[in-house]
Chain A
Amino acid sequence: MKNVRDAALFAAVLTALAAGAMLLAGANPIAGFAALARGALGGERQVSETLVQTSALLFPSLAVAFAFRAGLFNIGAEGQLIVGGLFAGLAGAAFVAPGWIAIPIVLAAGAIGGGLWGGVAGVLRARFGGNEVIATLMLNVLAVLLANYLIVGPLHSPNVAGPETAELPSSSWLPALLPHTRLTIAFAFALALAGLLRYVFARTVFGFELRAAGEAPQAAARAGIDLRRTALVAMTVSGAIAGFGGATLVPGVLHRFNVELSPGYGFIAIAVALVGGLDPLWIVLAAFAFGILQSGSLTMQALAHVPKDVVSVVEGLAILGLSARRFATRAPDVA
């Protein structure tokens, strides 16, 4: 989205699609929207839950946008997020220390894990010219399998029955922003990160080179920008952002790691990033909108009998429509 008019138009189309989907599901769209709004924004608890979802979506969305701006179609934010969460869970269960020491370690571990996972795709691309779409897609699957293997196998914690890590000591939990809610300082981190990325793209030489490599790789190469290095760095940083996001869910929401950490945040993030036009500020708004869908969908299903899958359908349509537009504009010029 480049401006308010685009955003309003897009919201209108999406609302119409959602209404259509509700009708097809045999439900009353007005009741559906009312239930959705009530579930997502009906009170302090609902709003805070929506913001929890917003920040969970915001990290991988910014990660996806970061790679996209560098011309890399990273669809592996989900895997990077899971590996980040895994690293955070393992680190958090291992360290017992005051929060101001433990929390930075836990979050940094997550960023490192996600960065490594993204970096694998970056190396494949930079070193061997491998397609990052295929690589990141496959690495999503590997991430889940790897995490499950490690937590039930070599790194199994003796006091835990299921496929998850031990609970983090409460001193390592993220401080809440609102008392008695799950809304933590992760939300503030997400907003700060959006601001930071916007600054990086607009003001720094690094951001300038990334954008050049993404928009016009041949011109960038001739201007002395190393495309391989750019691909490697962009994928690693993108993975680190997603991994950091996964890490915030461990001491912030679950207080342990398991692969149920994400209901597909890394995939929804692609839609959020595209809806946000790859601009961090618009992505914040888009993440909030998708956060509403995430947190209100259960209420919608319970009260208005609209299946919550309607939300997935609408998210899918958003990806489809926006990807089509993105690729359509890259069609060769007609003289």
Chain B
Amino acid sequence: MADAAPASLELRGIVKIYPALRALDGIDLTLLPGEIHALCGENGAGKSTLARIAAGKILATEGSVVASGPVGLVHQHFELVDRLRVWENVVLGREPRRGGRIDAAAARERVRELSRRYALAVDPDAVVETLPVGIAQRVEILRELAKEPSVLVLDEPTAVLAATEIDALFATLHTLAARGAAILVITHKLQEVIGHADRVTVIRNGRIVSSALTATTSLGAIAHAMVGGDVPALATRTRAPLRPAFVATNLCAGTGAHALHDASFEVCGGEIVGIAGVEGNGQAALSDAIAGILAYEGEMRLRDRPLPPDPAARLVAGVRVIPQDRRREALVLSWNIVDNVALGDHARAPLRRGFNVERGAREALARRVVERFDIRTPSIRACVASLSGGNQQKVVVGRALSCEPALLVAYQPTRGVDIGAAALLQSRLIEARNDGTAVLLVSFELDEILALSDRVLVMYRGKIAGEFERGSFDRARIGALMAGGA
């Protein structure tokens, strides 16, 4: 990094104030041509805000942004028009024209040329909604590259990718960097930071707390900087006797690309079975079928009895599902913690007496959950919408575990949750396992699967593609199966 090289992007004294929040509080960041710079931080640290300010999508309250050329931004949630073709998306807003019409031939050629230059294979005439996530992301990247940017910002680009796709993405980024672009990658996967970035900057609460060459830092140091302290250790797993609990036989559910096909597996009381896979390979259909809100074929038995058909009876039978979208599927955001914790168990004693809700029992339950899950709230009467994402998730998981469930399905239980809260939630899952609950863990973070599971099932295109026992986890092999390898 020669000091003489002019910066590709220079952020000085960036402050961003939202009505109730100081999102960024004086950020200075310089990107040099040819470097891959990682930006790390916990949820809500201000990373995405900084990315959008750098790309000129939103304005900073104070401070200056100077770039040597166009800045491209690849969004965490792709901003593509699903119904349009690849080439239409790439040229959208900057369509080449001939006469009064769009010059489709020139646009297609432009896409092919970019595609060749950066080794990003994609069919210009494919309709975006038919593409797998990894390819859709290539389209998003191509669209930004079509602007010939001198800086490319990528917001959590690897969140939805399988391991092999992640390697391909970083290969592309290295090519770009070699051509003189500066790359800013926002990520919370620390291995990627160490493996691919030249420098790493950590922000916390809107301020830079650490900035270093990756060669001179370590995973532990980065995590420490992100959390602002030591990362709490996971609960130890005790050797618990396995008892037969949940058996699924020839389970089929859902339709289309995300359907579940003919899955047969078992989860015993006292073990965590992890479902490894890239998002959209049937995990949601599996979780919804177990919750009782999605029609299915095949059989499910819990503790030697068939699962009853409706969600209410499944709750009584001890099935708890932590759904993927906590804001819509798990919580009533406008309600307080007391009412949210009661939801699901509200129709039975001890939370019910006759026609009435039993307020005392509800409040006692809410206090127990708040204490056991260390929920940061001014009061159990606080509206859950006012809690942070991590604390909302603690309410959801705390509710699910308040009854010692027979079967717990945890779908991405730590998504969008900061490191400290994630460690607490993971420890509680291990403790539930130790207490004899059958835990089915769905996660798109392979690290989380490998850290928590006693057994791993790999899902690909709705089928179970492989099974691994703890002690013989083969990371490379699991990654290959997740991507559809044999």
Question: A and B: real partners?
Answer: yes
Find chain A residues with CB under 8 A from B311 CB: 221-224
Interface size on B, residues (CB 8 A): 32
Residue-by-residue, is B290-319 near A (CB-CB < 8 Å gives 1, otherwise 0)? 010100000000000000001111110000
Of B321, B328, B356, the residue contacting A218 (CB under 8 A) is B328
Interface size on A, residues (CB 8 A): 21
Find chain B residues with CB under 8 A from A149 CB: none
**Cα–Cα, bound, A313→B48 (Å):** 47
* Contact of A212 with B by CB under 8 A: yes
A209, B329: Cβ atoms under 8 Å? Answer: no
B339, A216: Cβ atoms under 8 Å? Answer: no
Q: Which of A133-178 contact B (CB under 8 A)?
A: none
A223, B323: Cβ atoms under 8 Å? Answer: no
A208, B357: Cβ atoms under 8 Å? Answer: yes
Minimum C-beta distance from B325 to chain A (A): 8
Say yes or no: A205-B321 contact (C-beta < 8 A), given A219-B343, A224-B344, A335-B48. no
**Cα–Cα, bound, A119→B329 (Å):** 28
Minimum C-beta distance from A157 to chain B (A): 42
* Contact of A325 with B by CB under 8 A: no
Say yes or no: A208-B346 contact (C-beta < 8 A), given A203-B357, A222-B311, A222-B323. yes
Q: Which of B348-388 contact A (CB under 8 A)?
A: 352, 355-357
B344, A222: Cβ atoms under 8 Å? Answer: yes
**Cα–Cα, bound, A224→B293 (Å):** 9
Say yes or no: A208-B329 contact (C-beta < 8 A), given A223-B346, A226-B310, A226-B312. no
* Contact of A204 with B by CB under 8 A: yes
* Contact of A215 with B by CB under 8 A: yes
Find chain B residues with CB under 8 A from A335 CB: 48, 77
**Cα–Cα, bound, A226→B314 (Å):** 13
B48, A219: Cβ atoms under 8 Å? Answer: no
Say yes or no: A208-B293 contact (C-beta < 8 A), given A215-B332, A215-B334, A222-B321. no
* Contact of B446 with A by CB under 8 A: no
Find chain A residues with CB under 8 A from B321 CB: 222
Say yes or no: A204-B356 contact (C-beta < 8 A), given A215-B332, A215-B334, A221-B311. yes
Which residue of A is nearest B315, CB measured?
A224
**Residue in B48, B311, B332, B333 whose Cβ sees the most chain A Cβ within 10 Å:** B332
**Cα–Cα, bound, A222→B290 (Å):** 11
Say yes or no: A224-B312 contact (C-beta < 8 A), given A209-B346, A212-B332, A219-B328. yes
Q: Which of A301-335 contact B (CB under 8 A)?
A: 333, 335
Find chain A residues with CB under 8 A from B323 CB: 222
**Residue in B325, B352, B357 whose Cβ sees the most chain A Cβ within 10 Å:** B357
Say yes or no: A222-B310 contact (C-beta < 8 A), given A205-B357, A335-B48. no
Of B291, B315, B327, B343, the residue contacting A212 (CB under 8 A) is B343
Q: Which of A188-239 contact B (CB under 8 A)?
A: 203-206, 208-209, 211-212, 215-216, 218-226
**Cα–Cα, bound, A224→B343 (Å):** 9
Q: What are 11 contact pairs spanning A and B, CB under 8 A?
A: A203-B357, A204-B356, A204-B357, A206-B355, A209-B347, A215-B334, A218-B325, A221-B311, A224-B310, A226-B310, A335-B77
Chain B residues within CB distance 8 Å of chain A: 48, 77, 291, 293, 310-315, 321, 323, 325, 327-335, 339, 342-344, 346-347, 352, 355-357
Chain A residues within CB distance 8 Å of chain B: 203-206, 208-209, 211-212, 215-216, 218-226, 333, 335
Known: A204-B356, A222-B344, A223-B344; 20 extra A-B contacts, CB below 8 A, are A204-B355, A205-B347, A205-B355, A206-B355, A208-B357, A209-B346, A209-B347, A215-B332, A215-B335, A216-B328, A216-B331, A218-B328, A219-B330, A222-B291, A222-B321, A222-B329, A223-B346, A224-B313, A226-B310, A335-B48
